[in-house]
């Protein structure tokens, strides 16, 4: 009976530690991802001008130095 209680306490401590680590890492991950923005996407241009294989594009904006 005592082993089950110890295992439950260990699991709670591990899960709580993992949650705290993720909470501290979240601002770093979000700030790293927010520096580059996708401004425009042309994924299916009109074929009025011919083959559209060279007309598809993505515009990226780098908000960092």
User: pLDDT per residue over 6-64, tens digit each?
Assistant: 888 888 888 888 888 888 877 766 655 567 777 888 877 777 777 766 778 888 888 77
Please check whether residues 14 and 40 belong to one and the same domain: no
Q: Are residues 24 and 42 in the same domain?
A: no
Q: Where are the alpha helices (DSSP H) in the chain?
A: 2-33
42 shares a domain with 29: no
> Do both 27 and 44 map to the same domain?
no
Total-model pTM: 0.41
Domain range for 63 is 36-65
Q: What was the pLDDT predicted at 32? A: 56
Task: Specify the number of domains making up the chain.
Answer: 2
Residue 64 makes CB contacts below 8 A (sequence gap 6+) with 35, 36
| 16 and 44 fall within a common domain | no
Strand, helix or coil for residue 20: helix
Task: Specify whether 16 is located in the same domain as 43.
Answer: no
Do 27 and 41 fall within a single domain?
no
């Amino acid at each position: 009976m005592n082993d089950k209680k110890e295992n439950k306490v260990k699991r709670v401590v591990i899960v709580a530690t993992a949650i705290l680590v993720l909470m501290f890492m979240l601002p770093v991950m979000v700030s790293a991802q927010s520096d580059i923005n996708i401004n425009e996407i042309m994924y299916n241009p009109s074929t009025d001008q011919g083959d559209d294989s060279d007309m598809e594009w993505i515009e990226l904006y780098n908000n960092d130095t």
